[in-house]
Amino acid sequence: MFFWGTATAAYQIEGATAEDGRGPSVWDTFVREPGRVKDGHTGDVACDHYHRWREDVALMAGLGVNAYRFSIAWPRVLPQGAGEVNERGLDFYDRLVDALLEAGISPVPTLFHWDLPQALEERGGWLNRDVAALFADYAATVAARLADRVPMWITLNEPFVHMAYGYAMGLHAPGRLLLTGALPAAHHQLLAHGLAAGALRAAGAGQVALTNNCTPVWPASQDEADLRAADAYDILHNRLFNDPVLLGRYPDLSAYVPEPDFVRDGDLETIAAPLDALGVNYYNPTRIAAPADGGVLPFEDAGITGHPTTAFGWPVVPDGLRELLTALRARYGAALPPILITENGCSQEDVPAPDGTVEDEARVAFLDGHLAAMRRAMAEGVDVRGYFVWSLLDNFEWAEGYHQRFGLVHVDFATQRRTPKRSYHWYKAFLAGRNTGRNTGQNTDT
Ligand code: FCB
């Protein structure tokens, strides 16, 4: 079955951060530090999905998706990150999974979407190698409850972004500014992925995937220096996270670290455990130039002009998705498992009209263009097995707070009123025109 879905993440939609025994996460701490998040917004309430999940499942059923990618909050299941299990946290996801299945929607949970239990941050967070093994314990705990009903598991969401924003640049929780000192956080996340994949399979899980954020890297010019910088960026953003998983080795990291002494014997075998799918999140290409003199990093973001942009300022380049997918296939060949596009979407300043409708035509064009690009990649031989729109709902967009709206459904955060936008109706019509296999389990068209 081709997964046609929408995606969300726990901290961005659930709210209820202190309810039913949930422990604090690094994001609960981070949002309280002055200046970290625009306008001091927090995920305390977010979309109140923890209480309104039935309504949200009904919205998805109305949309006609056959899959839903959500994330499970580690601190709901293990408030201290390890040790005592909070059954009420598991109960929430148990009920959600049942409701999805009843609606003909396959649950595709991600086990870590950046909300590390604060208790583990106090032990060093992802800089501490032990956290990898604790993640596998957590994965086993969740699988013991849900594996009988979950067809596809995703271990981690975007370890690159978590490392870069959370540990290198201090823009996301836990707010560390370590620059290249953040690299151990990449390795320990990858190790966590490998250990969790094993734990999930041992617990009888179906398919297992990892979601990486990938970007086509465009050199700013054909000058030797720009080409070298683009290659260095490609290594950091893409290959650091794909090579070990798919090839069992790291790319040349010498531009960043003289000796990756955090890698121990056997780690790469663990990390390279076979995958059933690679999750790919695509938003835009990145144009890279050589750094100005004295730059700490071996590259500089040169920016992309000449394309429309989203409210975030991200360039809209639909064919970048085809370029990315075909490049992955060219690079990894037979080592590339089937691909799931686990996130794709755009932010816009969506304002409801007086009659209550939200006419987000640019989002419709964005999705239409990217779906066409995905089909072109498939026609060129890339094995894509799913597409998830980011996001079902407008939600808490990390350091941007509620300022960036990505939803197919508009959320009025003062009243929690949900209003399907034009793009929701468009995606619904798109799905209605295909055999999505919903409720039937049959093969589907793309
Ligand atoms: C991705 C994240 C997701 C969301 C989108 C816009 O990097 O995985 O949570 O914030 O960007």
Instruction: Look at 76 and 296; give whichever has higher pLDDT.
Output: 76
pLDDT at residue number 289: 98
> Which residue has its alpha carbon closest to ligand 1 atom 10?
397
348, β-bridge pairs: 405
CA dihedral (401, 406, 412, 414) in degrees, to 10, reads: -10
Tell me what pLDDT residue 296 has: 87
Find the helix packing angle between 87-102 and 130-146, rounded to 10°.
Answer: 50
CA of 264 to the centre of ligand 1 (A): 31
Ligand 1 centroid vs 394 CA: distance in angstroms?
12
**Residues designated as active site:** 158, 343
What is the C-alpha separation between 179 and 297, in angstroms, rounded?
A: 8
* Ligand 1 pocket check for 282: Cβ under 6 Å: no
> Using CA positions, which residue lies closest to atom 9 of ligand 1?
9
Are residues 245 and 275 in contact, defined by beta-carbon separation less than 8 angstroms?
Answer: yes
- Kindly report, residue by residue over 348-380, the tens digit of the pLDDT: 999 999 999 999 999 999 999 999 999 999 999
Question: What does the block give as tokens for 278?
Answer: 């690679």
Which stretches does DSSP call E strand in 142-299? 152-157, 207-213, 217-219, 277-281, 286-289
* 3-class DSSP state of 279: strand
Query: Is the C-beta atom of 13 inside 6 A of ligand 1?
Result: no
Global pTM value? 0.98
Could you tell me the two tokens for 77?
């299941």
Stretch 49-73: mean pLDDT, rounded? 98
pLDDT attached to residue 295: 82
Domains of the chain, earliest start first: 3-433 (3.20.20.80)
Which tens digits make up the pLDDT trace of 211-266?
A: 999 999 999 999 999 999 999 999 999 999 999 999 999 999 999 999 999 999 99
pLDDT of residue 438: 76
State the pLDDT confidence band at 439, using cuts at 50, 70 and 90. Answer: low
Q: What's the whole-number mean pLDDT along residues 115-143?
A: 99
Question: What is the Å distance from ligand 1's center to 442 Cα?
Answer: 31
pLDDT digit string (tens) for 332-351?
999 999 999 999 999 999 99
Query: For ligand 1, is residue 234 a contact (CB within 6 Å)?
Result: no
pLDDT tens, residue by residue, 402-417: 999 999 999 999 999 9
Q: What is the pLDDT of residue 445?
A: 64
Asked if pLDDT for residue 442 goes beyond 70, the answer is: no
